[in-house]
Amino acid sequence: MSKRLIASAAMLAFAAIPAHAQKDVKIGFVTTFTGPQAVVGNDMRDAFELALDHLGRKMGGLNVQVIYEDDTLKPDIGKQKTDKLIQSDKVNFLTGYMMSHVLLASYKSAVDSETFLISANAGPSQIAGDLCSPWFFSTSWQGDQVPQAIGEYMNQKGVKSVYLLAPNYAAGKDVIAGFKSQFKGKIVGEDFTRWPDQLDFSAELSKARAARPDAVFAFYPGAAGVQFLTQYSQVGLRGQIPLYTSFIVDALSLPQLKDLSLGIPGAQHWVIDLPNEANKKFVAEFRKKYGRNPSFYAAQAYDSAMLIDSAVKAVDGDLTKKDAMREAMRKANYASVRGSYKYGNNHFPIQNFYLQEAVKDGDNFTLRTVATALKDHQDRYAAKCQMKW
């Protein structure tokens, strides 16, 4: 056969391969990898990498390329990184997004470009309601739901009055709004503190003491939560006013808080001891690979990889079939570490929320499930979403 015929045959063979088969799955992962909140971003990345290991580093027969970007906890930087991933890297999916104010800044870029964005943590009320989009999915929760579970628990405990504390950004406002929607007692005071640089809460704690509530409810993620709970104990409030929290006591803060974490009720949609097989595998192999327990942030990031995989598998790797991928994700047809759940009309999970408590496990500390606080719970903004399925 002549060289010309060989070349022609090769070109014909190449042309016979479907266009979609020439692509990798490209995923942009945006979260915080620097500063005090980097511990959360690193936990999310580690879990996402573990999920890829479990998938054989492939989705729908295609190799997976992940591009990690650091938003530095700044909305403008997060948007710049999101735009770069969409316009230059031409990713098929975006995920990560730890903080609500970063997600909100990046959201329009994803929606306008018709790029799927799967939030592995942030769940702003705006996106659950009026700004809902067929290009967005969550593998976490809407930001009101965890504090709603705590509010319901406090109702059951007969708490009549509470003082509220949270950082002054989108998630802080959603958490307080969610708590208020569920708690039936009296709000005797509230403070929204600077974010993310305020780590001294002495003035706010003095105000809380003076208000003499039955309880204090606080939301502070990451390093701020460790500082808050430490100061709460140092000023003597721990023995005077019961503390209820959201996102303060978790697998990442337990090694620092240690005994301070005991007796502080919390809630989440995922707890490390959930008995389903997917979770048992995730927890065991996360511990084996990284030498520590996974947090709920890690669980959500792991699920985000598995949700993306379910979409790519459903179309046999044809990434041009976006409508079919969306329909596949709407089914939540994968083995979630939280157990089975379904999506609401706004693409936020309808799922259980559990009371959790810290316990000492030998020389270490871990979390255990106490009870189911909310069952098959849908966020309260879904009715505002006009998206048609």
Q: Are residues 179 and 244 in the same domain?
A: yes
So what's the pLDDT on residue 142?
Answer: 97
Q: Are residues 74 and 98 in the same domain?
A: yes
How many C-beta atoms surround the C-beta of residue 249 within 10 A? 25
Q: Are residues 313 and 180 in the same domain?
A: no
In a domain, 41, yes or no: yes
CA distance 277 to 245: 29
Counting the structural domains of the chain, the total is 2
Q: Are residues 254 and 366 in the same domain?
A: yes
Q: Are residues 250 and 364 in the same domain?
A: yes
So what's the pLDDT on residue 363?
Answer: 87
In a domain, 171, yes or no: yes
How many C-beta atoms surround the C-beta of residue 15 within 10 A? 8
Residues 108, 133 contacting (CB under 8 angstroms): no
Q: Are residues 185 and 250 in the same domain?
A: yes
Strands 116-119 and 136-138: parallel
In a domain, 12, yes or no: no
Tell me the residue range of the domain where 108 lies. 19-141+274-340
Residues 365, 250 contacting (CB under 8 angstroms): no
So what's the pLDDT on residue 21?
Answer: 53
Q: Are residues 63 and 116 in the same domain?
A: yes
CA distance 94 to 177: 28
Lateral strand order in the sheet of 161-167: 186-193, 161-167, 215-219, 243-246
Strands 215-219 and 161-167: parallel
3-state secondary structure of 314: helix
Residues in the chain: 389
Q: Are residues 363 and 234 in the same domain?
A: yes
Tens-level pLDDT at each residue, the chain (389 residues)? 454 544 444 444 444 444 445 489 999 999 999 998 999 999 999 999 999 999 999 999 999 999 999 999 999 999 999 999 999 999 999 999 999 999 999 999 999 999 999 999 999 999 999 999 999 999 999 999 999 999 999 999 999 999 999 999 999 999 999 999 999 999 999 999 999 999 999 999 999 999 999 999 999 998 899 999 999 999 999 989 999 999 999 999 999 999 999 999 999 999 999 999 999 999 999 999 999 999 999 999 999 999 999 999 999 999 999 999 999 999 999 999 999 999 999 999 999 999 999 999 888 999 999 999 999 999 999 999 999 77
CA distance 199 to 193: 9
Residues 97, 300 contacting (CB under 8 angstroms): no
Q: Are residues 235 and 371 in the same domain?
A: yes
Q: Are residues 181 and 129 in the same domain?
A: no
Which residue type is seen at 258? K
- Give the helix ranges, DSSP H, for 55-144: 75-87, 100-112, 125-128
Look at phi and psi of residue 173 and say left if phi exceeds 0, alpha if psi is from -120 to 50, else beta.
Answer: alpha
The CATH number assigned to the domain holding 244 equals: 3.40.50.2300
In a domain, 349, yes or no: no
Show the beta-strand stretches assigned E in 260-346.
266-268, 342-343
So what's the pLDDT on residue 361?
Answer: 86
Residue 114 burial (10 A CB sphere; 0-12, 13-18, 19+): exposed
Q: Are residues 109 and 49 in the same domain?
A: yes
Q: Are residues 243 and 281 in the same domain?
A: no
